[in-house]
Each structure stands twice: as C-alpha cells, then as structure tokens.
Chain A
Amino acid sequence: MESLITAAARALEAGDPLGALNRVALRNDAPSLALRGIAMAQLGDLAKAKSLLRNAARAFGPREAVARARCVVAQAEIALVSRDLSWPDRTLAAARTTLEKHGDLANAAHARHIAARRLLLLGHIEEAESMLAGPGRFPLPPASQVVRELVLAGIAIRRLRSEDARAALARAARAARQAGIPALAAEVEGASRVLDTPTARLITRGEERPLLLAEVEQLATSEVLVVDTFHHSVRRRGTVVPLGTRPVLFALVRILAQAWPADVSRQTLIAGAFHARHLDESHRARLRVEIGRLRTKLKPLADVNATKQGFALAPRRTRDILVLARPVDEKHANVLALLSDGEPWSSSALALALGTSPRTVQRALDELARSNKVQCFGHGRARRWMTPPVPGFPTGLLLPTPLLKT
C-alpha cells in the first residue's frame, strides 16, 4: 500500500531487520512503528520491541482492526518468549477472532500457536491440544507449520507418546527445510534430541539405570508396579492410585518401593517421610496411622505388610516393583526443569507455571542461587532468573518471526 512500508516489510520477511529499520527508522506513523517493533524483536531487543508495538497498536485508528490485532499477536509472542505468562490471554483471543473474521488466517493460526505454547508451558496439555485443533484448517506457511508440529511434539512428549512425538518432529524437520530458516531447523533438532536422551531414571531392587522416553512409555503397558515420581502416583497398567495431594503417603511408598523386596525399618520411614531426626512414641503412632491410610489407598495394587523391624510392600499380580524418577533427583527439580529452557523467567511466571505461591518459588530460587544453580539479573519486578541450558532437558519451544504484513 505504502511504498516505503512495502519495501521495509519485504526486507523484514527476507530476514534483513537492519534493512527494514533503515527504511522506517525515523518514521512514527502506525505501520512504521509496527515494523520497527518487529525488527527490534528479531534483533533481540524485546523491551524496545514491546513498547514500539504497544505504540503502534495505539496509533492504528480504531477502524484499522486487523493491523491492530496483528500488533497484539506480536506483543503476545514477545510476552511468551520473555516468559511473561501473566499476559492477558483474553486480549490474544480477541485479536485472533478479529483476524479470523477478516480472513487473515495465517496470522490467526499464528495467534493460536502462541496461545497453545503458553498453555503447554503452564502444563495445561488438554487445553493446548484443543487450541491447536481449532477451526480453519488450511495450508499453513512452512514456518508456521514448524511451530505447530513442535507444539504437537511437546504435547506428545508430556503425554509420554514417543511415536507421536517422533512423527511430529519429522514433519517439523521437513517444514523447517522448506522454510529455509536455519534457526527453525536447529530448534527442531534440539527438540529431537530429547527423544534420544534419558528423560527418567529407573530404580529397582536398589539398582538404577537411565530410561529413554520410549521405554518410559512401555511401562504403561507392562505388568510391573510403577511408583511414578513425575505424577506422584502408583500404577500398574490402567490402574492408577494418585497421591499428588498426599505427599507423606507418596514419600512412604517411594521409600518402600526402592527397598523392595527388602523391608524398611520404622526409623528410616519416619526420617524419610516426616523429616524427623529423633524418634519418639508420637512418631511411631503417626507412622501406624499413615501406613493404615496407605494400605487403604494401595488396596487394588499392593499390600503393606508389617515385618519385624518395619514394613515391606507386597505387590499383587506382578513380580516386580520399580520407581520412576527424574534424571537428577534434586530439591526444587520442578523449578530447575522450567528454567532449563534457557529463557529468563520472572519468579511470578514460575509460580504461575508451577501452580504454587510466589513466596515458595522465591524461597526455592534463593536457595538455588546460593548453590549457584541459577542466576538472576535485573531488579525489582524486572528481575529474571535463568540457568545455562542443561543438555537433555526439553528446550522451550520457538520464537518464529511474526508473520506480519502491513
């Protein structure tokens, strides 16, 4: 429509943000602000990009609804990448509806992907999946296709479906080659490595070995009794006893399972489950109560037998018990798992993603910082936390260039 805007938009699409900036750097009209914002985002200055896009959205008249909606989508993407998860998802949904209504299906799909990635990051897997399944199936541009497949792979990995994940990643790799964007191809490759790196640890009869995602998946159909520290549950095939809200019971069953077929002394159980150093009669009484509760819970899967010195598990209909644990058994492993995507997180975003209070997260971060496992920068509300990416942890999904045409 406008000559210089067209020239700048073409430069941006060709992966030349500096060329785009050269053309619109001194202009403050709405489309120039939007292009400058996207160029700055591509150059990594997210703070500047955010304010430029905010101004652009404001500068577009109320009648330029589509242009405005595209700015909102770009802002949402920047928020996601900076792990600002409190960004209002309703604003993004409204922008998506506007784009859909005006036939800008490519950008509407892009908005959908951003929403799905946010949901995935927050652990709302079902919602992320239904977000992707939304209406408007049409041929996506290759770069957009890559993002979609990466989100699908992320969902499959979190559901322990390695074959689905592998297939999605293969499609992602194909689309990345088609898009010809090296950063996308690298992202797909990084995500693929997750499938060939141990994602869990198996502990049985006092021995340990690393497990690939596919092997973890096989456990779901095998006959063994699994004490699952990822989901805080005990299961055998389709029978699942969730203990997520009963940490003491889970701690007890885990200690018993790790020792199985041997028994565990009362003292060890009390120390491990109640974090008590000195034993007294009240602890013994409490242990009796908790074991009673555990017995009731585990009834379909196993029995808890009293022995001379303590207790032992006795599984039903299987001859094996194993414990499925995280690769590194670490205090605050959940915080580290999120930070390991290499992106800077705010403590409030971590709290949101973990579903705990900001105070709890803050305490965990302080503790981790003292042992140099995490680092922070910035002050006050702008403070961000990160760790150097640990190989083998799922990396965060992707920042594609916003598909914004003016």
Chain B
Amino acid sequence: MKRSAAEIIREYGPFEGVEAVHGVTYDGSHVWFASGDKLNAVDPDSGKVARSIDVAAHAGTAFDGRHLFQIAEDRIQKIDAASGKVLSTIPAPGGGGDSGLAWAEGSLWVGEYRERRIHQVDPESGKVLRTIESKRFVTGVTWVDGELWHGTWENEESDIRRIDPATGKVLEQLDLPAGTGVSGLESDGGDRFFCGGGTNGNVRAVRRPRRG
C-alpha cells in the first residue's frame, strides 16, 4: 500500500449560512455540496456559490450527467439538476446510517458510515447489488478511471483511500492533516478530488496522485 500526506490545493468557503458540508459532487463545471437544507453549486474558479436548490440534504451527493442524487434522512432523492425538482426517491441501503454517495457504471454507490461498508445500489429500485467491506468509517465515495476511492473519518482522523472493489483491500492512502474531516468526496475526472470539510463548513480540493 502506498501512503502519503494529502496535498490540499485549495480551500473553498466558509460559505454564508453553511455550518457543515455533508456531501460533495461535480457536474463538470460546478462543485455541488449538501448543507442540510440546500444543495449549493460552487464555481471552482471563483469559489463563489452560483446557485442553490432548496432540498433536504443530510449526507452524500452524486451526479449522473443529468440528475443530482441526494441522501436525505433514510432515502435517496433523484433531483432534476435544471429545475431542482425531486423526481423520485428510493430507500437508502443503510436505513439512515448512510453517508457518502457516488454514481458510476449505471449504479449508485453508497457508503454506510459506522458499518464501514459500501453498497452498490440499483438507482431505479434501490436494490442492493453487492456490498464492499472497508476497514474504517466510510464518508464520501467516488469512482475515477476504474478506481474506487472513499473518504474516512474516525477518531477525529481522516484520509482518502483507494480500495480494491473486489476485496476491500486498501491500495493507496492520502492522510489529511490532524483535525481535518472528510465528508463527501468527488473526483473531477482529472487530477483533483473535491471533499467536504465536515463541521468546519469548507470544501477542499486535494490532488489525486499521478499514475505511472
């Protein structure tokens, strides 16, 4: 396993009226984050909130190209990104113990925080297709270039780690500075991760290690 210190490229926020960040996703131009009763779209260049949707947003956030998915209480809401309307909901696999959310390969991937596992879920029915065990409390989840990454937050320590989707084995680990939380994680498809700072209400950009 490769282990290194996470390189924080940039910090966004604090944002007005935002106490904590619960989920993070990226739609190709804006970073979306969940702040309890709102989804907020941040321009990653200016760092300003461009737009907000009033919707219950208590944990993970994901984007499938057209829709935003957002965990609220014990369900996953499918939201039209253009209108902000909730189109449908499915039950969340952790029954409310859910934290991170990602969209990849036609499935939703849901982190179940204290159970230390990640579920692959059918986005139409909510059916659990398979479950990957992790070693630590799971917060945000993301897929990039066929790599499964997730954030951890346990014992006031956080890291971002790549795990083997088949075995759950940790392949690579980026440690965040002590006292820094990771809530919500999303790759921009390039060399950046966006992650929520949890109760400090910030969003951070962290460099993704280069391959090769």
Residues on A close to B: CB < 8 A?
A: 1-7, 10, 23, 27, 29-31, 63-66, 102-103, 405
Contacts and interface: CB of A to CB of B under 8 A. Distances in A.
Contact of B98 (A2, A23, A27): A2
Interface string B9-42: 0000000000010100000000000001100000
Contacts, number: 71
6 contacts: A1-B137, A2-B98, A3-B96, A27-B96, A63-B155, A405-B199
Contact of B92 (A1, A3, A30, A64): A3
A2 B99 contact: yes
Nearest to B182: A1
Contacts of B99: 1-3
A7 B153 contact: no
Contacts of A2: 59, 94, 96-99, 113-114
A3 B59 contact: yes
Given A6-B22, A7-B72, 17 more contacts: A1-B22, A1-B113, A1-B139, A1-B153, A3-B58, A3-B96, A4-B74, A4-B97, A6-B20, A6-B58, A6-B59, A10-B36, A10-B58, A30-B114, A63-B155, A64-B154, A65-B155
Contacts of A4: 58, 73-74, 95-97
A289 B168 CA distance: 89
Interface of chain B, main secondary structure: loop
Interface string B37-75: 100000000000000000010111000000000011110
B97 A7 contact: no
Contacts of B156: 65-66, 102
Contact of A1 (B56, B73, B74, B198): B198
Contacts of A64: 154-155
A3 B97 contact: yes
A29 B114 CA distance: 9
Contacts of B202: none
Interface residues of B, number: 31
Contacts of A23: 73, 96
Contacts of A103: 179
B183 interface: yes
A3 B36 CA distance: 9
Nearest to B155: A63
Q: 9 closest A-B pairs (Cβ-Cβ)? A: A4-B96, A3-B59, A63-B155, A6-B58, A3-B58, A2-B113, A7-B58, A3-B71, A7-B73
B55 to A, nearest CB: 13
A3 B183 CA distance: 11
A3 B153 contact: no
A7 B99 CA distance: 12
B155 A1 contact: no
A3 B73 contact: yes
B183 A1 contact: yes
B126 to A, nearest CB: 14
A5 B72 CA distance: 10
Contacts of B71: 3
Interface string B96-138: 1111000000000000011000000000000000000000010
A79 to B, nearest CB: 26
A119 B81 CA distance: 56
B139 to A, nearest CB: 6
A66 B157 CA distance: 11
A3 B98 contact: yes
Contacts of A5: 96-97
Contact of B59 (A1, A30, A63, A66): A1
Contact of B56 (A7, A27, A31, A63): A7
A405 B137 CA distance: 17
